[in-house]
A and B are shown apart, each in its own frame.
Chain A
Amino acid sequence: MTALLDRQLLFVTGKGGVGKSTVAASLGLLAAEQGKRTLVCEVDAKGNLADFYEAGETAFAAREIQPRLWAMSMDLEESLKEYLSLQLKIPFLAKIGPLARTFDFIANAAPGVKEILTIGKLTWEVRERHYDLVVVDAVATGHIVGQLTAPQAINELVQVGMVRNQTQWMLDILTDPARTGVVIVSAPEEMPVAETIELAERLDAETDVDLAAIVVNRVLPELFTEREEALFEQLRTPERVAALSEAAGGDVSPVLDAAELAVTLRRTRAEHLATLRDAVDPHLPLIYVPYLFTRSHGARATRQVAELLAEEL
């Protein structure tokens, strides 16, 4: 199997709140630092990719925010304009008055148009080899299959016309596991794990796009070995807590309570991890990213996650 960062197009998806964008930003950062010309593209127009690099606003036009690392945000209307000028060679696009106003409607009404403009732009960058790697901070788990299958759907819906002719090369790129892969970001919690398993099954059944890896984010550290835990339990008698408090110069109970909380949290999460491991293909890489206690977001967190990913990859 092609190593993750040796592919050319990675769709990073995941349930909301699991750190999908952090992982996408970190994969991009890592690839760039390993010498690859990398584009990170945010598809959900929330405009917060910039927060993960703290490098200012991103727009449709890709901007090099550090050596070999470009960032952009998807904009469907811009994508359509680019497509029209590239494919149809229509000058004076501005003269097409109703374009802007009607665009939103057409995109909503015609199934697959939104998706195809996104997929089209991304695969175009891959086809033209503008970058070594395109990392997509993609739509959430519930929508990714619709997006990835858009070229096929368009192929079936639109009988003739330019779009139909354009979908074949997109499909060629999307379905080539040496070039394209999906990365599902998950967390060791009930719903994210359930959604990850469901998506892995749907990707397999409904698309020909390869699932490249699952990144499990926010994995809590194992505090004790079994023996250490037994020892910890023995420390919790009132006499020993009193002795420890005396020696430590203050009440140690909250510290011990906190350790117990940490063990409980880790344990409930471990069950979800086990569920995930049992449900997915044993050959699929599962990459674990530890929970970051010190930073929850920003450029520093992106860098830390990139370093942790580098160890795992």
Chain B
Amino acid sequence: MAAPRKRAAKAPRADAVVGADEKVRTLEQLLATKEIVISCGSGGVGKTTTAAAAALMAATHLGGKVLVLTVDPAKRLATALGLERFGNVEVRVPPEAFAAAGIEPRGELWAAMLDTKQSWDDLVARHAPDPRTRDAILANSLYQNISGRFVQSHDYIAMERLYEIHQSGEYDLIVVDTPPTRNAIDFLEAPDRMAEFFSSKLLRWLTAPTASRMVNFASKPFYTVADRILGSQFLEDIATFFTLFQTMAPGFVERAEAVTRTLSDRRTTFIVVSTLEDAPLNEAEFFIRALDERRLHLGALVLNKVLPAYLRRTATTAVAKRLVGRADEVAGSVAGVGDPADVARVLATVGESFLNYQVVAKREAEQRAGLARSPDVVAAVPYFDADIADLTGLFALGDKIWR
């Protein structure tokens, strides 16, 4: 068991950074006042890395026990955190990893990965009325299939685990990386959907006593159709499974409602991560709207892989164009660097490349300006020379978003 939560460290931590009516302007201020941070956005924009960097910065500068909970981390991230691998159980990032990076953290950084299958099994074990029902559910072949995909199970499980860990009171701050979903808001709705499902008529029908259902089979067209398509044995299997599953309904419904409350708690905030490319940014905007509609707290927008501002300078456009158009002439101005024809070719290439990147940089700047709503905290992260491979790299990224 980990050490009890250090409540004492908490209050001064928040007050020192932001006063009661001071506006939150940096990620540092935001994280100092929150207990749960949910990092979201479309796939491939650096969501997981951003979550890890934010957690690292919080552990380093704010102190306390900070947990980063990720869904599907690249092996590189585990390596970057100085861990061989990490699983469903939280592990502490070793102090040696910090020492190697020359960082003296005020607090502790912990990491855990979401294991959907394991988490479902734990959930069943918790809510099943007795060990026999539990074993029957866990052994059911439908359950084994379904626990991987049923009712957006990833989404629900992620939020459920978050709730559980938060309830445990083990951490001062939990940073969660959300699962890659087809629809960014799926995980926001997952707890509600779970509660809805358990109170649906459909479940009642499926779990009605077998005898009366068999009578219905013959009389209602749907059953006839279902029977002809899937075969009655398969329908029976489904019914058996859901009869078992329904025994867990009260616990599940209550739990799902509590999870929903956690999302809208004032101690919870959302960080939207995106690049300035068209598709991820659309997704980010959509998500920001979804948060607003649900009155959830949008804390920050982190823009990754942003091209440097000098690419947008109009004065430089003319220079680049001259390098392309009058390469020979400009090449003549430098001596002692080999064949002037080669120099001219290099200068023309360089000019052309600038103009190419300028188109992208300007398009991205317009995308950014066109954002309908931005939170108070917006951080832009430049391209890094190499992929982040250790705590030093993660810290460098964290530095760009922190203040």
Binding site for B on A (CB under 8 A): 15-18, 44, 46, 84, 88, 90, 95-99, 101-102, 105-106, 108-112, 140, 142, 146, 157-164, 189-192, 194, 223-224, 227-228, 231-232, 234-235, 240, 243-252, 254-259, 261-262, 264-265, 268, 293-294, 296-297
Contact = CB atoms under 8 A, between A and B. Distances in A.
Contact of A99 (B43, B141, B222, B347): B222
Contacts of A257: 308, 310
B238 A109 contact: yes
B199 interface: no
B168 interface: no
A158 B278 CA distance: 43
Task: With a 10 A CB-CB cut-off, give which of A17, A112, A254 has the most chain B CB atoms.
Answer: A254
21 contacts: A88-B225, A96-B221, A98-B222, A109-B142, A109-B238, A158-B234, A162-B229, A190-B76, A192-B44, A224-B349, A227-B342, A231-B346, A248-B323, A250-B318, A251-B316, A254-B311, A254-B354, A258-B350, A262-B353, A293-B359, A296-B277
Contact of A157 (B44, B226, B234): B234
A15 B230 contact: no
A138 to B, nearest CB: 12
B197 to A, nearest CB: 8
A259 B222 contact: no
A12 B32 CA distance: 44
A246 B322 CA distance: 12
B169 interface: no
Contacts of A44: 182
A255 B228 contact: no
A90 B225 CA distance: 9
B230 A17 contact: no
A295 to B, nearest CB: 9
Interface of B: 42-45, 74, 76, 141-142, 145-146, 149-151, 180, 182, 197, 200, 202, 220-222, 225-231, 233-234, 238, 242, 277-280, 307-308, 310-311, 313, 315-316, 318-320, 322-323, 326, 329-330, 332-334, 337-338, 342-343, 345-347, 349-351, 353-354, 356-360, 363, 383, 385-387
A255 B320 contact: yes
Contact of B310 (A224, A234, A258, A262): A258
Given A240-B334, A244-B333, A261-B308, A102 B44 contact: no
Given A111-B146, A158-B231, A232 B308 contact: no
B366 to A, nearest CB: 11
A108 B196 CA distance: 14
Nearest to A262: B353
A243 B354 contact: no
A308 B163 CA distance: 49
A91 to B, nearest CB: 11
B330 A17 contact: no
B230 A235 contact: no
A15 B44 CA distance: 8
Nearest to B179: A142
B76 to A, nearest CB: 7
Given A16-B180, A243-B334, A255-B351, A297 B316 contact: no
A26 B151 CA distance: 33
B43 A17 contact: yes
Contact of B315 (A84, A88, A190, A250): A250
Contacts of B329: 247
A110 B230 contact: yes
Contact of A191 (B74, B322, B360, B385): B74
Contacts of B330: 244, 247-248
Contact of B346 (A109, A142, A224, A246): A224
Q: 6 nearest interchain CB pairs?
A: A161-B231, A16-B43, A247-B333, A17-B44, A111-B145, A250-B319
B323 A255 contact: yes
Contact of B229 (A97, A112, A161): A161
Nearest to B152: A108
Contacts of B346: 224, 228, 231-232, 235
B225 A96 contact: yes
Contacts of B360: 293
Contacts of B319: 245, 248-252, 254-255
A249 B354 contact: no
B353 A259 contact: yes
A223 B42 contact: no
Task: With a 10 A CB-CB cut-off, give which of A157, A189, A268 has the most chain B CB atoms.
Answer: A157
A89 to B, nearest CB: 11
Nearest to A189: B44
A105 B338 CA distance: 73
A225 to B, nearest CB: 10
A108 B343 CA distance: 64
Contact of B74 (A159, A161, A190, A296): A190
B47 to A, nearest CB: 10
Given A17-B42, A251-B319, A255-B316, A106 B334 contact: no
Nearest to A80: B229
Contacts of A105: 197, 200, 202
Contact of B45 (A17, A192, A252): A17
A236 B350 CA distance: 12
Contacts of A296: 277-278, 363
A109 B242 contact: yes
A252 B234 contact: no
B45 to A, nearest CB: 7
A161 B277 contact: no
Contact of A97 (B222, B226, B315, B356): B222
